[in-house]
Amino acid sequence: MYKLQLPDYQLNDFFDEILKGRQGAASKFLFGRLKSIKPFLINKEEEYRSLMFSKGGNKLFTIAENKLIEIPKNLKLGQFLNFSNSITKNDLIEKLREYGLEPLFENITTMELSQIRHCLNRFNLEEALSVIDAENELYKVMSYIDSTAMKNAYENYIVESEDSGKKGRDIYEHILLLADDGICPYCMYGDVSTVDHYLPKAYFIEYAITPLNLLPSCYECNTKKKDLRKLEENKMFINPYCDDLTKIRWLECNLVDNMWPITFKFNVAEDIESVIIKEKLNEQFKTLSLGKLYATKAGRYFRIRAKKIVENYESGGSESIIEALKDDKISAEEYNLNALEAKVYEALLNSKWFLEEGIKNVKSFYLEK
């Protein structure tokens, strides 16, 4: 895990722009529904930020799950329905009848188009709901936004397509580019290819399009994390935006004696000062199967370096190997104290079996096959 730069965007920077050109009924009036809760989402974003950077540390675990957002009933009906300016009177009347809204008007057929529009901008949702059957789909749509709607908002307005050229996709690409060298901040190994919701959008719908809740991730970590939402301080994942582990040696690696091929074992360090950080790391380590992932990658690192290790041994014995490994360890730690390469070199340096016995068989096992 490493510290991520914060996103350059806040909701207010792009909210109106991602809604441009979105019409009403085609997406179950998502334009009007989102527009109506803009102040709510922006307030929630501020709450999220304050909890993330509170004096007592990351407090996002205190946020309650939420799957429904109530739509303000004072919203004007015309704003909600968002009819095209080019719609004809007949088409407008037909739509209002289809939605069950004709009872709002005394005699809609005798009214001019401008009069109908004026009325739509005078009526509010509370009045509209009073004439719609509660079983009507529109009744539900006018009443609240659910997780499905916010999922659609994220997928259609933020993810979009790579060549869409729209603002939402710019936000998505910006999040991906926050990753150092394109490496996943959750596992420190996989290539970033997708965006993860730190608080799952299915259960915390007010943060579905909030940049601070979006993190670059590799496909494997995003898949394994899924909708994990253990709302306990010591169970939540490390948050790369606010949990700084750059100065903590949290990862340990040991060489397994007398095992061929050379085998490494990884675990979270026991001597981490913060109990909360240690427990969070153990939760993440287990959920993402990082021990297995790191052991596999470490074995490959060693295989690649085997030839140089043998050359050092044959030219200067164990002392030569030790000096070379120390130099490589220092170099790797300049990038990250917990870099896998650094931990591999550290494990080799700490293994009496390897330096005294194992090294003698590296050439025959790795290079003479």
Q: What is the pLDDT along the chain (369 residues), one digit of tens a residue?
A: 788 999 999 999 999 998 877 665 456 788 889 999 999 999 999 999 999 998 888 899 999 999 999 999 999 999 888 888 889 999 999 999 999 999 999 899 999 999 999 999 999 999 999 999 888 888 999 999 999 999 999 998 999 766 667 888 999 999 999 999 999 999 999 999 999 999 999 999 999 999 999 999 999 999 998 876 677 888 899 999 999 898 999 999 999 999 999 999 999 999 999 999 999 999 999 999 999 999 999 999 999 999 999 999 999 998 999 999 999 999 999 988 999 999 999 999 999 999 999 999 999 998 886
Closest alpha carbon to 79 in 120, 26, 138: 120
> CA angle 82-88-93, nearest 5°?
75
CB count, 10 Å around CB of 98? 11
The single-letter DSSP state of residue 83 is: -
Angle CA(53)–CA(190)–CA(157) in degrees, nearest 5?
A: 60
In 3-state terms the chain splits into helix, strand, coil percentages (rounded to 5) of 55, 10, 35
Dig out the tokens for 137 from the structure: 């789909």
What does the angle CA 229 – CA 213 – CA 250 come to, to the nearest 5 degrees?
70
Question: What is the longest distance spanned by two Cα atoms in the chain?
Answer: 101
pLDDT at 117: 93
Q: What is the pLDDT of residue 81?
A: 87
Amino acid at 142: M
Q: Are the C-beta atoms of residues 144 and 68 closer than 8 Å to each other?
A: yes
